[in-house]
Amino acid sequence: MYDKVLAPAGLKLTQFGILSAVNAKGAALPTVSELAEELVMDRSTVGQNLLPLERDQLVTLLTDPNDRRSRLIALTKQGVAKYNEARKYWKIAQDRFEAAFGRKEAAELRSVLLGIAYNEKLNKVRGN
């Protein structure tokens, strides 16, 4: 449902998540590894999802001056504009989900999912 609602902005849910997370960092540009950890995703998956965003000039990858092996992710002006456009669709999707699932139930579900995503015992099982 989210991919369908975000389609007019030309983004998939994972791409919107990346733009959103990078935008939230402001001037503190995240590395690919930091972004992967924050999004609870595999580093290679984040890297694959960055490729079309970089191709479309929505993000740029910069060399980290503190560690030349690391890449910092920055939104471009087009990336900020695309993120702002997509936020409108994200809100529509969130509203639809809460209307169908229930506001209280949606909040509980998000809480449970975050608890799973950041559970140290489960992270050790995943190898993180």
Alpha-carbon Rg of the chain, whole angstroms? 16
Which residues have a Cβ under 8 Å from the Cβ of 54 and sit 6 or more positions away? 60, 61
**Structural domain contains residue 112:** no
**Structural domain contains residue 28:** yes
**Structural domain contains residue 121:** no
Q: What pTM was computed for the model?
A: 0.83
Compute the average pLDDT of residues 46-57.
Answer: 95
**Structural domain contains residue 122:** no
pLDDT at 123: 62
Say how many domains are in the chain: 1
**What residues make up the domain containing 40?**
2-101
Looking up residue 59, the CATH number of its domain turns out to be: 1.10.10.10
3-state SS class at 64: strand
Helix (H) or strand (E) holding 27: none
What confidence category does residue 22 fall into, taking pLDDT thresholds of 50, 70 and 90?
very high
**Structural domain contains residue 32:** yes
What confidence category does residue 125 fall into, taking pLDDT thresholds of 50, 70 and 90?
very low
